[in-house]
Structure 1
């Protein structure tokens, strides 16, 4: 097992690995909304419905939530692939410019890693061509062969020349994902957005890819937004976690704080189904979220186990849960929760 394939260890959050809280954000989303008009008069789907989020240099953030909560739409809007209906995305302190030339330059600094390496790679292209594609699109004027070899090597495919003429079907799933990562690294980006980066991989390979992402952060100072429904993955890789529900971030903070002592009932429900979680799994009531029918008040209240059990009524906040929308959480690194019940428990 090579150095980049070592399993994850418990010191993944060593103080030197995460940026200090005073570091200015690399990427910022402010009041971000993305809505999609319904067909034939159907209601508008509010896929992203008010999000503030900061990502600092060298920081790994896990964006977690169940399918349909808006994670991928938020990620695509941060990449400039979906233009927000309202709000803005800023990179390096400057608002994102949606002109073709500006977006091309931006995507050289912010790269996407998709969950399915087989679908991301053209089966007719060799590994060399797959990795070199970004260089050719961006008019790279340096030594292409050296850049491709360096990217493959950093992604853990060594010696890189051995893989140049290979085709995707000749590689394992883990090797294909490393090729996808190399294709993102070849342009030397400052931030990668990884959408379910290990969801399609065998359990034996997942740890290798996560360890690779951590090593790239340590060696290159790379920032990452990792989109996932897997809280175990978030625990293993992230400095900070943002829990998303029905288009909005409902809890955020340091990963140890949020996943060890979750405050929002939705986060508690997500954690309760993990194999190692104490007690019985929380069974949510109501229908799965529908972004075209966001309820009044707290958007989670129709499925909330705290409201369903009568605990919110006893705490005197049931009416607020049904009628008062908690404010959009700030984008910073402090622990925050959009929940009337959780806030009622805080002294003072």
Structure 2
């Protein structure tokens, strides 16, 4: 996979805003995002809760309508008519975080997995398609699960049923929102291995939304770090997670158990998306600016008043940070000291 390969999914200048209450300013949940995902590529979208990850993911599937920008799939702009979205959702499927909440407790596993086929008018052998999807999701022999109900399954088995329900339509893209967050540690590795195997066997592309940098390390080809509605650092996963350039990425990595040095404790909560700060949106919490390193690099004023440009959607390493760009010849650091970390 190279940057010359046309993206399967491409996002240009995406904005999603929600009306504020009682005349308040709109909440800019996604505030200018470019992102490409190529066939067979797994991209991890990481960041704190509330940074806009899930809203971005849902807008890519047509579940949330953007207020600006464009989503293109396989070279064609995503149309918003009911018929166009129905056709698109055969090719792009959502895997939700909580399998217990996304499975109808009154339906058998067979009916849950077959639902997509019935909605889209599958012309072939329904039973064979359901069995194949369950088998690919690791539930074998599949017939053993046909008449079971969700409450009769383990957490890992329920998540496999959710994945089977997505696979039954033979999609080209999976959008997985925190796919293992609700699972026991012993099961997480199995589900991640399944997603990797599906990429290898079926050529599936995937966007994996997560707050877990260790998960990103283990599964992704590329990572995009999101903060307050915008991607602030992106690139190959090993490059970003072993030599982070943005202070926010450095702070996220510094609190991992295997990280060297002292963890970076960010002050305060992420700002309200209705009142995004001027300049770099991270500057009000930035440890580099607070510690004087940005001043010494001559970029403190830019941090406070100049908004870094939106990063392009390509696969090269990029960072939206005045300080990082000013010191491109210096080693990346967790706190400015050249430390790197390999997430476990």
Relative to the length of structure 2, the TM-score reads 0.95
Quote how far apart the aligned CAs of 1:21 are.
2.9
RMSD, aligned α-carbons: 0.9
> Which among 232, 246, 250 is matched to residue 250 of structure 1?
232
> Which among 20, 26, 32 is matched to residue 50 of structure 1?
32
SS of alignment partner, residue 284 of structure 2: helix
**What is the rounded CA distance, in whole Å, between the counterparts of 2:277 and 2:9 in structure 1?**
30
**What is the rounded CA distance, in whole Å, between the counterparts of 2:4 and 2:185 in structure 1?**
37
SS of alignment partner, residue 301 of structure 1: coil
What pairs up with 1:289-308 in 2 under 5 angstroms?
289-308=271-290
SS of alignment partner, residue 306 of structure 1: helix
**What is the rounded CA distance, in whole Å, between the counterparts of 1:319 and 1:336 in structure 2?**
21
Tell me the equivalent position of 1:27: 9
Instruction: For residues 37-83 of structure 1, give each alpha carbon's deviation from its aligned partner in whole angstroms, at most 9, with x where no partner exists.
Output: 10111111000000000000000000000000000000011001111
Tell me the equivalent position of 1:118: 100
Tell me the equivalent position of 2:251: 269
- Corresponding position: 1:286 with 2:268: yes
What is the aligned length?
330
Unaligned runs of 5+ in 1: 1-18
**What is the rounded CA distance, in whole Å, between the counterparts of 2:77 and 2:203 in structure 1?**
22
**What is the rounded CA distance, in whole Å, between the counterparts of 1:20 and 1:246 in structure 2?**
29
- Corresponding position: 1:165 with 2:147: yes
**What is the rounded CA distance, in whole Å, between the counterparts of 2:315 and 2:294 in structure 1?**
28
SS of alignment partner, residue 292 of structure 1: coil
What pairs up with 1:35-114 in 2 under 5 angstroms?
35-114=17-96
Tell me the equivalent position of 2:122: 140
Instruction: For residues 218-262 of structure 1, give each alpha carbon's deviation from its aligned partner in whole angstroms, at most 9, with x where no partner exists.
Output: 000000000000000000000000000000000000000000000
Quote how far apart the aligned CAs of 1:31 are.
0.3
Contact 2:281 2:307 in 1 (8 A): yes
**What is the rounded CA distance, in whole Å, between the counterparts of 2:4 and 2:25 in structure 1?**
42
Unaligned runs of 5+ in 2: 331-344
Tell me the equivalent position of 1:233: 215
**What is the rounded CA distance, in whole Å, between the counterparts of 2:94 and 2:19 in structure 1?**
26
**What is the rounded CA distance, in whole Å, between the counterparts of 2:270 and 2:320 in structure 1?**
19
SS of alignment partner, residue 207 of structure 2: strand
Contact 1:68 1:289 in 2 (8 A): no
Contact 1:246 1:289 in 2 (8 A): yes
> Which among 161, 183, 188 is matched to residue 170 of structure 2?
188
**What is the rounded CA distance, in whole Å, between the counterparts of 2:142 and 2:267 in structure 1?**
52
**What is the rounded CA distance, in whole Å, between the counterparts of 1:346 and 1:276 in structure 2?**
25
> Which among 298, 305, 315 is matched to residue 333 of structure 1?
315
Tell me the equivalent position of 2:342: none
**What is the rounded CA distance, in whole Å, between the counterparts of 1:345 and 1:288 in structure 2?**
26
Tell me the equivalent position of 1:342: 324
**What is the rounded CA distance, in whole Å, between the counterparts of 1:194 and 1:57 in structure 2?**
16
Quote how far apart the aligned CAs of 1:347 are.
4.5
SS of alignment partner, residue 227 of structure 1: strand
Quote how far apart the aligned CAs of 1:190 are.
0.1
Tell me the equivalent position of 1:9: none
**What is the rounded CA distance, in whole Å, between the counterparts of 1:102 and 1:119 in structure 2?**
27
Quote how far apart the aligned CAs of 1:20 are.
2.9
SS of alignment partner, residue 175 of structure 2: strand
